[in-house]
Structure formats: structure tokens, C-alpha cells
Amino acid sequence: METKLAELLLDPESVSEATKTHVAGCDGCHRELNELRATMGLLGGWEAPEPNPYFMTRFAARLREEKAVAPAGWWERLRARMKYGQAVHMKPLAAMAMTVMLVVGGGTYLDFYWNEPAAPTNAAVVHDLQTLDSNAQLLDQLESISDNGTDSAN
């Protein structure tokens, strides 16, 4: 109902008849609507104070004084230049810094991407088959030795 009360206050024609009937019958909603109307009435009568005619003159003088004070160290000079100086000269520096960051970051990414560890040339299955093959040759040699030893004994 709170959103409906705001609509009823600002644009009464857009609110449905059911809402108007509810507000007329409900004490809490009726009291809230009257409070909103009183607040809007007070705000309608309020006028902003006139600015001091010498404000900008004093502000410009104070700004000149602050610019004239020499900062103590290099950090303070840089801060003062960024704070009171024109920011036009900072745009190319910022663009250059961003370019350097992109080049370094992109180069780092590409270095990791292109220099991935190479896949092993001998997969585990190939290595196992080679080991079995060499064992088979060893077994054949042992059998030939044992056959030669039994032939000479007979």
C-alpha cells in the first residue's frame, strides 16, 4: 500500500477506485496519506538559501594560494600537480601504462600457453610393451643356455 499511497499523492487519477476506497476506510493508510501531504506542503514552501555573492571570488583566491604553496617533497609535488593541475597530460601516461600492462600480461599468458610441457614421447603402455619384449628376449637367451647345458650333459 505504501507505493499506492505515493501514487495517490502524486497522481490521484492513475490510482484505482479500490485503492481509494481502502485508503478512505483504513485509519492507518488515511493517517499516512495525510502525513505525506503535510510533508509535501512543507517541502513546497521551502526555498533554498541564496549563495553568498563573494563565494566564487574567495574560492578562486584560496585555490591560487594553495597552488602557490610549494610542496615539500616529490610525492607532495606530484599530488599537488594531479590535484590542482590539468589532467590532460595524465591521459597519455595512463594509456601508456595500460598498454605496458596489457603487453606484459599478454606475453606472460602466451609464454605459459605456448611453452606447455611436452607430452612424453613414450607413453606408459609403449614403455611396458618394450619392457616385456626385452624380458622375452632375456627368457629366450636363458632357454638357449639351458638347452645347451642339457645337450652337453647327455
Segment 14-51, tens digit of pLDDT: 888 888 888 888 888 889 888 988 988 888 888 888 88
pLDDT confidence of residue 118: 61
Residue 9: inside a domain, yes or no?
Answer: yes
List the grid coordinates of 86. Answer: 590539468
Q: C-alpha 101: how far from its chain's center?
A: 17
Q: Tell me whether residue 143 is in a domain.
A: no
Asked if residue 30 is part of any domain, the answer here is yes
Output the pTM of the full model: 0.33
- Asked if residue 7 belongs to a domain, the reply is yes
Residue 52 lies in a domain: no
Does any domain span residue 141?
no
**How many structural domains does the chain have?**
2
- Written as one string, the DSSP assignment of 55-122 is HHHHHHHHHHHHHHSPPSSHHHHHHHHHHHS-GGGHHHHHHHHHHHHHHHHHHHHHHHHHTPPPPPSS
Domain ranges, residue 89? 80-112
56-70, 90-104, 116-130, 132-146: lowest mean pLDDT where? 116-130
The Cα 62–Cα 74 span in angstroms is 23
Cβ contacts of 32 within 8 Å, gap of 6 or more: 2, 5
Please determine, for residue 61, whether its predicted confidence score (pLDDT) is greater than 90: yes
